[in-house]
Chain A
């Protein structure tokens, strides 16, 4: 059992393989190939080869596949430059924590480190995916939420925290009514200052804003500090194309 809090109406513990939960890998990355020669098409091809190997080794490289195991596993990222300091972001799932760490090193060495300054976050999946109302089909956008419980949450009695979880459930039910697909909850605290990641498929950037207003209505943020990222779902092969040929 790795969950920090209990199941709610919306969330239930994620089933792992042989008792081992799936690992999660999230990244935000800023381009740094400012001059020709730093990062080339050969590096891009090397990165794509590593991604193909990771897929063979059981990684999930497309968020869609978290909801539909039959979906294509073509590596996907999100284009975030229009509203964030980083240019791209993304979420993968790996078979284990060690595989997650080693995988990021393999990508960096294949050429990723030349193209991007990257923040990698790794953790384990605590809660299972939840599908929004009528939201079976693919979405064009992704919303990522990192959060940490603040000092007030830590000071609160267990009963108060449980009450808070169920208040937040009202907002999460509102998210599902917005046709949001929630890819579970991922625990990141063992190796990062952020405690959790939530990754959503959304239909439009405005959905993120409407959904977060719902979370504000139930005072979600009285107990958390969070960082929210919105981006357009885009093939990673396109997002990592060299700037200079």
Chain B
């Protein structure tokens, strides 16, 4: 049961482009591990979508989480893995409306 939606917009920061492919791969593996952990904890997403053609950001991810605090924990884990240092972002949280 999910009570919240979390929308994440992202765009690489300029210094991301200075990293080697190997350095990028290490970081991306780490962030994918955080995403897997969120799914194991009840989070769900349909993946990453490219929106750069009509937006300030490059990608959007839409997640559902059992609780808003699960979204907070997922973001905290990404930050702990230095995601925010290499990607500019804008996040939104939403609660499901009762029928």
Contacts and interface: CB of A to CB of B under 8 A. Distances in A.
Contacts, number: 52
B67 interface: yes
B76 interface: yes
B69 A97 contact: yes
B79 A191 contact: no
B93 A101 contact: yes
B90 interface: yes
A151 B91 contact: no
Contact of B92 (A96, A124, A151, A191): A191
A102 B79 CA distance: 26
A30 to B, nearest CB: 19
Interface string B1-41: 00010100000011100000000000000000000000000
Interface residues of B, number: 23
Interface residues of A, number: 18
Interface of B: 4, 6, 13-15, 67-69, 71-72, 75-76, 79, 84-86, 88-93, 95
Given A155-B15, A192-B91, 19 more contacts: A97-B69, A97-B72, A98-B68, A101-B93, A151-B14, A151-B15, A154-B84, A154-B85, A155-B13, A189-B75, A189-B79, A190-B76, A190-B91, A190-B93, A191-B71, A191-B91, A192-B90, A192-B92, A193-B89
